[in-house]
Amino acid sequence: MKKILRVNDLRISFKTNSGNVQAIRGVSFNLFKGETLAIVGESGSGKSVTTKAIMGMLANNATVEQGSILFDGNDILKLTKRELTKIRGSRISMIFQDPMTSLNPTMTIGKQIMESMLEHRKMKRSDAKIKVIELLDLVGIESPSKRFKSYPHQLSGGMRQRVVIAIALASEPDILIADEPTTALDVTIQSQILELIKELQMKLKISIIFITHDLGVVANMADRVAVMYAGKIVEYGLSDEIYYDSKHPYTWGLLASVPDMSTKVDMLYSIPGTTPNLISPPVGDAFAYRSEHTLKIDFEEQPPFFKVSDTHYVASWLLHEYAPKIEMPEHLQRRIKLMLSEEY
């Protein structure tokens, strides 16, 4: 299978008043053509920074310490501004988290969608307009030709997110990055938008990087999953490997905190403790402080990747041959199986 994007040992830090925030501390992954890669992790784990790096849109106070992002034989991190704008929005585009704030409030949605077509595909205005209306229809907006002249505040949250998706698709990109595209939406609308993205991927055969903090959201969608914690990927594998056979206690924590929709229980599990301070990251395994299964070495040395299968890698000392054998908790396995079978 063809690798369309390759991220190698990416390290990014931010200069702030209180010190250097080491937000990304050695991240590598591949995106395969036509596949969906889910990047999952708690708030602050570095998901958005990773995607911003891919878009070439890092904040001014960011420094790329190391690493490369290969796309089409070029390292995105080494492109000039001008070359970047040619890729950005035309070959790689992005859906943002909060549809309430991600549209320009004083521009009609038609114009906002048209913008990147005119920019990258050099279309005529009248052609572009027809294309926009087709797109609006494609993303499921009713009476699209009327909606062309609407302002964002005239649309509901779900509608706006459909518009944002239309903007992202306007230039027919190869890669679509969706940064928590459903987090800000109601549950019912959330699943509609997920359905839409899935459908669009089938139709358009694009590759998707889907960012979320909720493993439940991507269960039926992702081909591969990368689990991020404190600026690192701690587990990486095919979807099935992560859901049914994950090895990292952090992944277990994330799986346990997936809201259980069938039983509608309000009590949500959340991993105890907070993410570490990335200005002076812990010496060893950053998750050790919060894990139930901590080893002495976790405080001394960062774990390397242990290979579980050709597609499944885990960064945890628990996989070392000397470590006590600890498996994914039984009740969690059962719950996940149950959930995935009936819900989606």
Ligand X SMILES: Nc1ncnc2c1ncn2[C@@H]1O[C@H](COP(=O)(O)OP(=O)(O)OP(=O)(O)O)[C@@H](O)[C@H]1O
Interface ranges with other proteins (CB under 8 A): 16-17, 55, 57, 59-61, 81, 84-90, 93-94, 96-98, 101-107, 115-116, 119-120, 150-151, 153-156, 159, 164, 167-168, 171, 273-274, 276-277, 289, 292-300, 317, 320-324
Q: Which residue has the tokens 């997936």?
A: 258
Residue 224 or 232: which CB sits closer to ligand X? 232
The least distance separating ligand X from the CB of residue 6, rounded to whole angstroms, comes to 20
Which of ligand X, other proteins, Mg ion, none is residue 104 near (CB under 5 to 8 Å by kind)? other proteins
The least distance separating other proteins from the CB of residue 211, rounded to whole angstroms, comes to 14
The least distance separating other proteins from the CB of residue 208, rounded to whole angstroms, comes to 15
DSSP annotation of 277 reads P
The least distance separating ligand X from the CB of residue 296, rounded to whole angstroms, comes to 27
DSSP annotation of 297 reads G
Q: Which of 30, 36, 45, 48 binds Mg ion (CB under 5 A)?
A: 48
The length of the chain in residues reads 344
Nearest-angstrom CA–CA distance, 230 and 40: 12
Q: Which two tokens stand for residue 185?
A: 């939406």
The least distance separating Mg ion from the CB of residue 155, rounded to whole angstroms, comes to 23
The least distance separating ligand X from the CB of residue 210, rounded to whole angstroms, comes to 13
- Cα–Cα nearest to 194, from 170, 173, 165, 167: 165
Which of Mg ion, other proteins, ligand X, none is residue 44 near (CB under 5 to 8 Å by kind)? ligand X
Nearest-angstrom CA–CA distance, 272 and 26: 25
Q: Is 246 in the site for Mg ion (CB under 5 A)?
A: no
Query: Are the beta carbons of 170 and 118 closer than 8 angstroms?
Result: no
Which of other proteins, ligand X, Mg ion, none is residue 23 near (CB under 5 to 8 Å by kind)? ligand X
Contact mark string toward Mg ion, 136..175, x via CB under 5 A: ----------------------------------------
DSSP annotation of 214 reads -
- Cα–Cα nearest to 129, from 142, 151, 145: 145
Query: Are the beta carbons of 70 and 8 closer than 8 angstroms?
Result: yes
Distances (CA, A) of 163 to 71, 86, 171, 223, 272: 27, 22, 14, 26, 37
- The gap from C-alpha 42 to its chain's centroid, in whole angstroms, comes to 11
First to last CA, the chain: 27
The least distance separating ligand X from the CB of residue 72, rounded to whole angstroms, comes to 24
Nearest-angstrom CA–CA distance, 150 and 63: 40
Which of Mg ion, other proteins, ligand X, none is residue 251 near (CB under 5 to 8 Å by kind)? none
Which of ligand X, Mg ion, other proteins, none is residue 140 near (CB under 5 to 8 Å by kind)? none
Distances (CA, A) of 231 to 37, 153, 242, 284: 17, 36, 19, 13
Q: Which residues bind ligand X (CB under 6 A)?
A: 14, 16, 21, 23, 41, 43-49, 59, 61, 213, 278
Residue 14 or 306: which CB sits closer to ligand X? 14
The least distance separating ligand X from the CB of residue 275, rounded to whole angstroms, comes to 7
Give the nearest residue (CB) to ligand X.
48
Residue 24 or 288: which CB sits closer to Mg ion? 24
Which of other proteins, Mg ion, ligand X, none is residue 43 near (CB under 5 to 8 Å by kind)? ligand X
Which of other proteins, Mg ion, ligand X, none is residue 8 near (CB under 5 to 8 Å by kind)? none
Which long-range contacts does 149-155 make (Cβ < 8 Å, 24+ apart)? 149/108, 149/110, 150/108, 150/109, 150/110, 151/105, 151/106, 151/107, 151/108, 151/109, 152/103, 152/104, 152/105, 152/109, 153/105, 155/109
Residue ranges binding Mg ion (CB under 5 A): 48
